[in-house]
Amino acid sequence: MATARPALARSTGAPAARIMAVGSYRPARVVTNAEVCERIDSSDEWIRERSGIIERRYAAKDESVADMSVAAAQVALRRAGVQPEQIGMVLVATVTHPYQTPAVATEISDRLGTLNAAAMDISAACAGFCYGVSLANDMIRGGSAQYVLVIGVEKLTDWVDPHDRGTAFIFADGAGAAVIGPSQEVGIGPTIWGADGSQRAAISMSQSLIDYRDNGGRIFPSLVMEGQQVFRWAVGEMSKTAQRAIDAAGITADDLAAFIPHQANMRITDAMIRAIGLPAHVPVARDIATTGNTSAASIPLAMDRMLQDGEIPSGGLALLIGFGAGLVYAAQVVILP
Ligand code: COA
Query: Does the CB atom of residue 248 touch ligand 1 within 6 A?
Result: no
Q: Which residues contact 32 (CB under 8 A, 6 or more apart)?
A: 44, 54, 55
Could you read off the pLDDT tens digit of each residue along the chain, which spans 337 residues?
678 999 999 989 999 999 999 999 999 999 999 999 999 999 999 999 999 999 999 999 999 999 999 999 999 999 999 999 999 999 999 999 999 999 999 999 999 999 999 999 999 999 999 999 999 999 999 999 999 999 999 999 999 999 999 999 999 999 999 999 999 999 999 999 999 999 999 999 999 999 999 988 788 999 999 999 999 999 999 999 999 999 999 999 999 999 999 999 999 999 999 999 999 999 999 999 999 999 999 999 999 999 999 999 999 999 999 999 999 999 999 999 9
Query: Does the CB atom of residue 165 touch ligand 1 within 6 A?
Result: yes
Q: Where are the domains of the chain?
A: 16-183, 192-335
262 part of the active site? yes
Intrachain domains 16-183 and 192-335 with the same fold: yes
| Fold observed for domain 192-335 | Peroxisomal Thiolase; Chain A, domain 1 (3.40.47)
Sequence-distant contacts of 96-105: CB under 8 A, at least 24 apart: 96/65, 96/153, 96/154, 96/155, 96/156, 96/158, 96/159, 96/295, 97/65, 97/66, 97/121, 98/65, 98/158, 100/209, 104/65, 104/66, 104/69, 104/153, 105/151
| Separation in Å, CA 222 to CA 59, 61, 167, 276 | 17, 17, 10, 34
Ligand 1 centroid to residue 41 C-alpha, Å? 12
Ligand 1 centroid to residue 297 C-alpha, Å? 23
Ligand 1 centroid to residue 47 C-alpha, Å? 9
Dist CA 3 CA 256 (whole Å)? 54
Ligand 1 centroid to residue 44 C-alpha, Å? 14
Closest C-alpha residue for ligand 1 atom 46: 264
Query: Does the CB atom of residue 231 touch ligand 1 within 6 A?
Result: yes
CB 198 within 8 A of CB 164: no
3-state percent breakdown (helix, strand, coil) of the chain, nearest 5: 40, 25, 35
CATH number of 16-183: 3.40.47.10
The catalytic position among 33, 126, 137, 265 is: 126
Q: What is the pTM of this model?
A: 0.96
Q: Could you identify the atom of ligand 1 that is nearest to the CA of residue 267? A: 39
Substitution candidate for ligand 1 out of 35, 228, 232 with most atoms within 8 A of CB: 228
